[in-house]
Amino acid sequence: MDLAQFYSPQAGRQIEAPRHSRARFAIGDVVRHRLFDFRGVVFDIDPVFANREEWYEAIPSDLRPRRNQPFYHLLAENEDTSYVAYVSQQNLLEDAQGGPVDHPSLPQLFDRFAEGRYRLHRSLTH
C-alpha cells in the first residue's frame, strides 16, 4: 500500500495514511450516527483515525471503530445540545430526515442549505 504522512493537530503527531482513501460522505453532507441519536454536518475529513490516542482508548472495546477508515468532523446536534463530534465512517449513515441542522457554528463555515446539503463559503473552497 502506498502511504503518505500528514500532520494531525488533534493527535499532535504525524499520521500515516493511504495516498488514496474513499470517503463515503463529503463536506456539507448531513449525516446521522448509526448507534447514537445525533446528526450533523461534515466540515472536515481525515483519511484515517487522526485524533488523540486517549480519545480512541476511551471508547469501549466492543464499540471501538477500525482506525484505517475515514473519520469525519461534524457540527453535531441531538435534542438537547450542539457540539463537535469525531466519527468513523462505519458509524455514519445518510440522514433520511434530510432537513437542516441547527448548530450555532454553521454560519461560520457554510453559506446555505440547498438540495439536502450545505454549501461551503466560497472563501473556504479551493
Decide: 23 and 31 in contact? Cβ < 8 Å: no
- Tens of pLDDT, residue by residue, the chain (126 residues): 555 555 666 656 665 656 567 899 999 999 999 999 999 999 999 999 999 999 999 999 999 999 999 999 999 999 999 999 999 999 999 998 878 999 999 999 999 899 889 999 988 776
Question: How far is residue 52's CA from residue 95's CA, in Å, rounded to a whole number?
Answer: 27
Map out the domains of the chain with their CATH numbers.
3-124 (2.30.30.390)
Question: How far is residue 91's CA from residue 40's CA, in Å, rounded to a whole number?
Answer: 13
Q: Which of 29, 21, 111, 23 is nearest to 75 (CA)?
A: 29
Question: How far is residue 34's CA from residue 12's CA, in Å, rounded to a whole number?
Answer: 28
Q: What is the pLDDT of residue 40?
A: 97
Rounded to 5 degrees, φ, ψ at 22 are: -105, 100
Question: How far is residue 71's CA from residue 33's CA, in Å, rounded to a whole number?
Answer: 12
Q: What is the pLDDT of residue 56?
A: 95
**pTM listed for this prediction:** 0.84
